[in-house]
Amino acid sequence: MKTAIIGAGCSGFTTAKRLQDAGLPFDWFEASDRIGGNWAYQNPNGMSAAYQSLHIDTSKTRLQFEDFPVPADWPEFPHHSLIAAYFNAYVDHFGLRPRVRFETPVERVARRGDGRWDVTAKGETAAYDAVVVANGHHWNPNRPEWPGQFDGPVIHAHDYRTPTDPVDMTGKRVVVVGLGNSAVDIASELGQRTVTERLIVSARRGVWVLPKMLGGKPVDKTPLPAWLPPKLARKLAAGVVRRAVGRMSDYGLPEPDHPPLHAHPTVSAEFLPRCAAGDIVVRGAIAALEGANVRFADGTVEPVDVIVTATGYRVTFPFLSADDAPVRDNHLPLYKRLVQPDPALHGLWFMGLAQALPTLVNLAEQQSKLFAAWARGTYALPDEATMRATIASDETLHRGHYYASPRHTMQLDFGIYVRDIQRELAAGAARLRQRAA
C-alpha cells in the first residue's frame, strides 16, 4: 500500500517515520522549503504563526517524542527556535529529509473510481492507496468583521512577528482582540510601557488564565492520579486553580461563566500581573469601528491606532472537495480523530487534527500507530454504524464539559486518547481475526 503524506510539520514527519519503520512506501509533499510547519519562524510558505518571542506552553518532557527525547539542558518552556531545531534534529536523526519533496504544494486530492486517490502537485498527478493529511489547522486565520470602518491597520495574530513587524506599534494605542494563548502572549509583550502608549484587550467573555508554574513545577507536570474519574479530577483541579489565581475580576477581567478547565486553557506567566499593574486594560467585545476610534459593547469609546485580532483559525483543506472533507463550524467528525466513517473515504486519514491537552506536538506520533497498522493490514476499522456511534461517544467524553464554541470542536485529552489508541489497536486486530475466521 502506497501513501501520500501532505505536510512536513510534526504530524507529517512523525507519520513518515512510522511508515519508514514499517517498510511501507510513501511520497511526501511539503509546500515550504523547510521542516517544521507552524514552528518554522518566518516560514516562506506564509503558513507559520510563530512570532519572535514565542515560547511553547507545554513543558519539555510532555512534548518530547517517545523515541527521541529533548535535550536535557532545555528550559522547561522552550523558545520556538529550540522546537524548530529539535524537529530538524529528529528528521535528520532518522534519515527522513531525503524523502521530502520540498516546495511542492499539493493542489488537489481526488477520489478515483477504483478506490484509490489521485494527488496532484506541480501539475503532475499520481495515484495512491491512501492519503495522510498533515497540513495543520493554524494557518488560515479567522478574520472578524465589525460594523463601521477603521482608519488604522488591522492584523491577525497569524501576521504578528514583533512589536514593529508587520506594523510598528511602538508608542501606539493598540487593541488585542481575544483571550486565548496567542492573545495574552501578544498583549503581554505589547503591554509593556516601553512598547505601546496604551494596550487594551477586547474580550467577548471571561476565561480562566492559568499560571505556567505551580509550586515551582510546570502545571502540566503536576497531574492528578490517572485512576481518578475525569469529572472528579476536573473538580479537584479547578479548586487548585481558584486558590492559585483567585478571581479573574481581581485583575480587571470579566468573570468566566464556566468553572476552570471547562474551556481550552489560556496559560500565561505574564498576563495577569500586567493586568494587575494597569499595563493592560480589559474591555468587552468590539461593537463598532468609528474611524480613529473603537466603540465597545459597554458604550466605552477609545482612540485606537492598531487592532490585532487573535481570533483563531478556520479548518480548511483547499486541496480536498467539500464532499471528501465536509467541515462544519470547524468540525470534521472522525473515528478516533483520524478517519471518516464512510467506507469510500477510508483511504483518507487526518493527522494532528485536534486541540490536544497538554500537547499537540507528539499527537500524530501516537495516531500514526493506528494508520500504519491499517496500511500494513494488521488492523481493521469497524463497520460504519459502529464508527458513527463511537465518534459521538468519544466527542462527549473529550469535550462534553466544554462550553459550546467552534474553539472546542477538536478538544482532546492526550492521556486518555493515547490509552484509547492502544486499546483500539488490539480491538482492530481482533476484528481482523474474526472477519478472517
The whole domain housing 133 covers 3-140+313-436
Q: What three-state secondary structure class fits 400?
A: coil
Distance in angstroms (rounded) separating the CA atoms of residues 17 and 246: 45
User: 104 pLDDT band (50/70/90 cuts)?
Assistant: very high
User: 126 pLDDT band (50/70/90 cuts)?
Assistant: very high
- Tens of pLDDT, residue by residue over 200-216, are 999 999 999 999 988 88
- Judged against a pLDDT cut of 80, whether residue 401 lies above it is answered with no
Quote the pTM value: 0.92
User: 157 pLDDT band (50/70/90 cuts)?
Assistant: very high
Distance in angstroms (rounded) separating the CA atoms of residues 399 and 16: 29
Contact 265, 242 (CB under 8 A): no
Residue type for position 40: A
- Judged against a pLDDT cut of 60, whether residue 403 lies above it is answered with no
Helix axes 384-399, 414-436, angle to 10 degrees: 170
User: Which of 32-36, 54-58, 182-186, 405-409 has the lowest average pLDDT?
Assistant: 405-409
- Give the dihedral sign, CA 391/394/400/406: negative
- The share of the chain scoring above pLDDT 90, in percent, equals 80
- Judged against a pLDDT cut of 70, whether residue 54 lies above it is answered with yes
Residues 39 and 18 in one domain: yes
User: In whole angstroms, how far apart are CA 369 and each of 18, 23, 137, 194, 378?
Assistant: 7, 13, 21, 49, 11
130: nearest Cα among 222, 4, 233: 4
What is the predicted pLDDT for the residue at 216?
87
Residues 23 and 111 in one domain: yes
Output the average pLDDT for the chain: 93
Based on C-alpha coordinates, what's the Rg of the chain?
Answer: 22
Residues 123 and 174 in one domain: no
- Tens of pLDDT, residue by residue over 260-282, are 878 778 999 999 999 999 999 99
What is the predicted pLDDT for the residue at 219?
81
Distance in angstroms (rounded) separating the CA atoms of residues 145 and 1: 46
Distance in angstroms (rounded) separating the CA atoms of residues 145 and 168: 22
Residues 167 and 294 in one domain: yes
Average pLDDT of the segment spanning 36-47: 93
Give the domain-ending residue among 259, 288, 309: 309
Q: How many domains does the chain have?
A: 2
User: Looking at residue 133, which CATH number applies to its domain?
Assistant: 3.50.50.60
